[in-house]
């Protein structure tokens, strides 16, 4: 069904009477002809001046005494002077807006349709309501079809995004144990985790990235960041983590043309990266607004290393400088944990407060005897319970790397 019909498509013929015609002549015709839902009353110039609505006329004339009183009077004494007129070839969408704006009851009666100023017929409100129901059903069907097309595209994009994530089997082969929490708020999201291949001496990088936004926009930026990471590994794999993050910020900024004065976008990302060097027994960390939680091998307290308070990418012409780095000895640590702000900012609990880094630190301390995969599973359960009935605010990601 077309959503752009004209009023003519729903027009029905009607009887037209003069305002001087007698009720005693017109009322019996309305009684006898059930198709006359609305009778149009015209004036001396032939233009509509009122309508006679079948239900109202029959109700009012049901009493024989009332009919006896009115039968010799002109129909103008019974007509309703409050009625709508509308061009017969006018768009139904415009008529819908007119009727909706009026807030008038449309239980009975109809609209007088005009052609060159004269009555061409009527559009009954009952037919109009049927049209509106069919129109809503058509719109619902079209929206459902459009939603299906969009979701097919988004689901396909999700498969592409997951293909850019770190290969879990390869990551497990690089650590004693790993645990991964990756839950986009929507089907796709702006969080990604990534691991490079290994250099000849066994060195490799592991990164956790939180890009601007979530959903499709965040996913598009995340794919750009993953591509830039792969490019840096291919061309500059000797970079230290701090220098790597600076270069990564520059690449993303240039790719989005954000290094020009008339840049249309202003997007970027938070990031944490560790460079693992098995032959040296060293793990080096650098972060931009994503910290690192270090679980010592002994029973000392969990240590939180704060990320540098600066996001990467975004508008700017000045190159990023290398970020501060922290070097850790593998023999001293049982695991390291990186998490995006979707973990910390999620409100929940009894008072609807954010989960926060302190709770994560306490949680890791309480679960330190577990393996990395068990810690991640427990953390996922912990965050679900914490959120409770609260809606998910952001993408949620965490990496637990066990040494």
Listed in order, the ranges of the chain carrying CATH 3.60.40.10 are 165-402
CATH 3.10.580.10, applies to 7-133: yes
Report the b/e string of 14-23 with b at 16+ CB within 10 A: bbbbbbebbb
Give the HSE-up count for residue 21: Cα atoms under 13 Å, Cβ half-sphere.
Answer: 21
Tokens encoding 315? 């508008």
> What pLDDT digit, counting tens, does each position of 250-307 carry?
999 999 999 988 888 899 999 999 999 999 999 999 999 999 999 999 889 999 999 9
Residues near 396 by Cβ (< 8 Å), separated by ≥ 6? 181, 182, 183, 185, 191, 340, 342, 343, 346, 383
Predicted pLDDT at 102:
79
Whether residue 72 is predicted with pLDDT greater than 50 in this model: the reply is yes
CATH 3.40.50.300, applies to 165-402: no
> What pLDDT digit, counting tens, does each position of 74-126 carry?
999 999 998 999 999 999 989 888 888 876 777 778 999 999 989 999 999 98
d(CA 99, CA 55): 20
The pTM assigned to this predicted structure is 0.73
> What pLDDT digit, counting tens, does each position of 307-332 carry?
999 999 999 989 999 999 999 999 99
Query: What proportion of the chain, given as a percentage, has pLDDT over 90?
Result: 74
Listed in order, the ranges of the chain carrying CATH 3.10.580.10 are 7-133
């Amino acid at each position: 069904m077309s959503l752009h019909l004209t009023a003519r498509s729903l027009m029905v013929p009607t009887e037209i009477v003069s305002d001087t015609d007698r009720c005693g002549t017109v009322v019996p015709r309305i009684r006898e002809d059930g198709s006359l839902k609305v009778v149009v009353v015209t004036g001396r110039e032939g233009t509509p001046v009122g309508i006679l609505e079948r239900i109202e006329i029959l109700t009012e004339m049901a009493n024989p005494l009332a009919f006896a009183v009115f039968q010799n009077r002109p129909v103008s004494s019974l007509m309703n002077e409050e009625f709508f007129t509308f061009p017969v070839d006018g768009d139904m969408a415009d008529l819908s807006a007119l009727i909706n704006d009026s807030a008038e009851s449309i239980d009975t009666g109809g609209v007088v349709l005009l052609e060159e100023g004269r009555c061409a017929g009527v559009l009954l409100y009952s037919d109009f309501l049927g049209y509106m129901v069919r129109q809503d059903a058509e719109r619902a069907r079209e929206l459902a079809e459009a939603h299906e097309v969009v979701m097919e595209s988004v689901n396909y994009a999700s498969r592409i995004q997951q293909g850019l994530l770190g290969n879990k089997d390869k990551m497990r082969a690089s650590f004693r144990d790993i645990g991964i929490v990756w839950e986009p708020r929507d089907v796709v999201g702006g969080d990604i985790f990534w691991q490079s291949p290994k250099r000849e001496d066994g060195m490799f990088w592991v990164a956790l990235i939180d890009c601007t936004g979530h959903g499709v926009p965040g996913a598009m930026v995340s794919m750009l960041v993953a591509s830039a990471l792969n490019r840096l590994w291919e061309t500059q794999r000797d970079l230290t983590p701090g220098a790597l993050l600076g270069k990564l910020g520059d690449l993303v900024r240039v790719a989005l043309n954000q290094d020009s004065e008339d840049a249309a976008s202003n997007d970027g990302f938070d990031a944490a990266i560790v460079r693992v060097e098995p032959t040296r027994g060293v793990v080096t960390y650098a972060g931009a607004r994503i910290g690192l939680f270090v679980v010592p091998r002994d029973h000392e307290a969990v240590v939180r290393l704060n990320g540098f308070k600066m996001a990467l990418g975004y508008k700017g012409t000045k190159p990023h400088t290398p970020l501060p780095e922290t070097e850790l000895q593998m023999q001293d640590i049982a695991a390291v944990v990186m998490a995006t702000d979707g973990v910390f900012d999620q409100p929940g609990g009894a008072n609807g407060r954010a989960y926060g880094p302190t709770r994560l630190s306490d949680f890791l301390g309480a679960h330190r005897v577990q393996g990395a995969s068990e810690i991640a599973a427990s953390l996922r359960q912990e965050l679900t319970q914490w959120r409770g009935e609260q809606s998910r605010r952001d993408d949620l990601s965490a990496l637990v790397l066990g040494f």
